[in-house]
């Protein structure tokens, strides 16, 4: 963009070979340190890369490349969707390769069989698969990456994580990594039909090590009302959100619980499946909180409306033992513009994918279930969530994945 402070809604169509390059390491050395509280003035030498810089990495620097051309619909405001390759390996157990091994070397010991999913293959619930992705990375100095499931993936209880060669952490790609990417995929509730090109994961690219302090998030809360009806003093290690178990905004329905024995879900079928065949509604408890059964998977919603300013991206902390023995939100990326007026959001509730661990747990109305960490972008994105990007969950309430027909609230 010629003016980094100007929002361009819609797809970026400029010739990136003629576009100015993002700030380089040499330029970074000449610039003063980026003040944390000056994100809207951009551009910055550290932060999460917006869509136009991801496109630059694909088309110019080749830090992101793929076995097949990367498509325009893979670019999100601050992330890139990743595609499954043509084969999947059923493995005996989840694993990390460790600092001395590649994923392929580990597969020689742990793979049970190899499946061709070019034209479709079933990933069965309760099983673990490793799928090489079409995309690869060749990151430069000061550049690292983070992986996460896409929203629709998490809402189907498909547990998926990004793995790299010589990796010691899931969903973390070390600085200057050069090599292939893999998805570990484990459907927990529904068996799913996937094929080459199916998008289950997404990746964010980070330049440098930008700070994300509580002081800055308190300032953002004051200016933007990131999460409605919270006290700034409650912001500690992120902005808290709580669960809605009263259903005042949804006719007493507070969520959905997945049925245990259902049919197959084809992940390419959008708006196709009847909700009642896969889910049962969860209604407001007559008294007390909602008892989470560790055998069940729930879709709930936050009590508060959430906003992500255009110059920021957010991530929900998936599991915090301080708030309870349960996991919330497998798909933790919130894009710039989510719930924000600039993208037509006017606030959107966070959908919570919830599983209790080991024992039943009583979830009370208004109980804190997670915290959002906000991180600035290096520049305003050329596209915002819900404006110029087809977004299934802007202005959402309790939202199942996009594969289902709109549910009845009666």
Among 275, 258, 121, CA closest to 189: 258
Q: What is the dihedral of CA 352, 355, 356, 362, to 10 degrees?
A: 40
Q: What is the mean pLDDT of the chain?
A: 84
pLDDT value at position 13? 30
pLDDT at 379 over 90: yes
pLDDT band at 250 (very low <50, low <70, confident <90, very high): low
pLDDT value at position 75? 96
Task: Evaluate whether residue 104 is within a structural domain.
Answer: no
Task: Evaluate whether residue 322 is within a structural domain.
Answer: yes
**Cβ proximity of 113 and 140 under 8 Å:** no
What CATH number is associated with residue 352? 2.70.40.10
Task: Evaluate whether residue 308 is within a structural domain.
Answer: yes
> Which of 84-98, 256-270, 339-353, 384-398 is least confident?
384-398
Task: Evaluate whether residue 91 is within a structural domain.
Answer: no
What is the C-alpha to C-alpha distance for residues 39 and 316, in angstroms, rounded to an integer? 20
pLDDT value at position 339? 84
Distances in Å between the alpha carbon of 318 and those of 125, 158, 228, 333? 22, 15, 20, 10
- Structure pTM? 0.86
Which residues, 6+ apart, have CB-to-CB distance to 292 below 8 Å?
298, 326, 354, 355, 356, 360, 361, 362, 363
Task: Evaluate whether residue 323 is within a structural domain.
Answer: yes
Residues spanned by the domain of 321: 214-389
pLDDT value at position 216? 92
pLDDT value at position 396? 53
pLDDT at 214 over 50: yes
DSSP string, 234-294: G-SSSEEEEB--S-TTTTTEEEEEE-SS---EETT-SS-B-GGGTEEEEEPPSSS-EEEPT
Average pLDDT over residues 366-388: 86
Average pLDDT over residues 280-292: 92
pLDDT at 5 over 70: no
Q: Which pair of structure tokens corresponds to residue 181?
A: 């990417």
Reduced to 3 DSSP states, what percent helix, strand and coil does the chain have, rounded to the nearest 5?
A: 15, 35, 50
Task: Evaluate whether residue 36 is within a structural domain.
Answer: no
pLDDT in tens, 317-375: 765 555 566 666 555 789 998 887 776 656 688 899 888 888 898 999 988 888 899 99
pLDDT band at 94 (very low <50, low <70, confident <90, very high): very high
pLDDT at 398 over 50: yes
Q: Which pair of structure tokens corresponds to residue 125?
A: 């619930």
Task: Evaluate whether residue 145 is within a structural domain.
Answer: no
Average pLDDT over residues 200-226: 91
Burial classification of residue 224, based on how many CB atoms lie within 10 Å of its CB (0-12 exposed, 13-18 middle, 19 or more buried): middle
Task: Evaluate whether residue 246 is within a structural domain.
Answer: yes
- What is the tally of structural domains in the chain? 1
**Cβ proximity of 409 and 30 under 8 Å:** no
């Amino acid at each position: 963009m010629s003016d980094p402070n100007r929002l361009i809604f819609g797809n970026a169509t400029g010739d990136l070979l003629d576009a100015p390059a993002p700030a380089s390491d040499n330029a970074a050395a000449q610039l003063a340190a980026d003040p944390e509280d000056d994100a809207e003035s951009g551009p910055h030498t550290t932060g999460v890369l917006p869509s136009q810089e991801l496109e630059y990495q694909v088309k110019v620097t080749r830090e992101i490349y793929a076995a097949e051309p990367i498509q325009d619909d893979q670019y999100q405001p601050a992330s890139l969707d990743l595609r499954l390759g043509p084969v999947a390996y059923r493995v005996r157990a989840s694993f990390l390769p460790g600092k001395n091994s590649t994923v392929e070397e580990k597969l020689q010991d742990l793979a049970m069989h190899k499946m061709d999913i070019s034209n479709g293959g079933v990933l069965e619930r309760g099983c673990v698969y490793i799928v090489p992705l079409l995309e690869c990375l060749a990151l430069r100095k000061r550049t690292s990456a983070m992986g996460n499931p896409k929203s629709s993936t998490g809402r189907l209880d498909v547990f998926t994580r990004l793995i790299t060669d010589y990796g010691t952490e899931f969903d973390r790609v070390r600085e200057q990594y050069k090599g292939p990417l893999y998805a570990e995929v484990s459907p927990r509730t529904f068996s799913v039909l996937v094929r080459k090109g199916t998008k289950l994961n997404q990746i964010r690219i980070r330049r440098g090590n930008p700070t994300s302090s509580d002081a800055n998030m308190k300032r953002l809360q004051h200016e933007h009302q990131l999460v409605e009806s919270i006290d700034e003093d409650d912001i500690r290690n992120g902005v808290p959100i709580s669960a809605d178990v009263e259903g005042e905004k949804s006719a007493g329905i507070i969520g959905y619980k997945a049925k245990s024995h259902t049919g197959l879900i084809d992940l390419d079928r959008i708006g196709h499946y009847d909700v009642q065949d896969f889910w049962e509604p969860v209604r407001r408890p007559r008294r007390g909180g909602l008892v989470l059964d560790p055998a069940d998977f729930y879709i709930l919603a936050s009590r508060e409306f959430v906003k992500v300013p255009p110059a920021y991206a957010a991530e929900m902390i998936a599991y915090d033992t301080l708030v309870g023995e349960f996991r919330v939100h497998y798909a933790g990326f919130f894009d710039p513009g989510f719930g924000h007026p600039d993208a037509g959001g006017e606030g959107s509730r966070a959908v919570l994918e919830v599983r209790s661990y080991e024992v039943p747990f009583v979830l009370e109305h208004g109980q804190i279930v997670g915290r959002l960490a906000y991180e600035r972008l290096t520049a305003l994105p050329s596209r915002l969530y819900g404006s110029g990007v087809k977004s299934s969950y802007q202005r959402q309430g309790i939202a199942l994945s996009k594969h289902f027909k709109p549910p009845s609230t009666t």
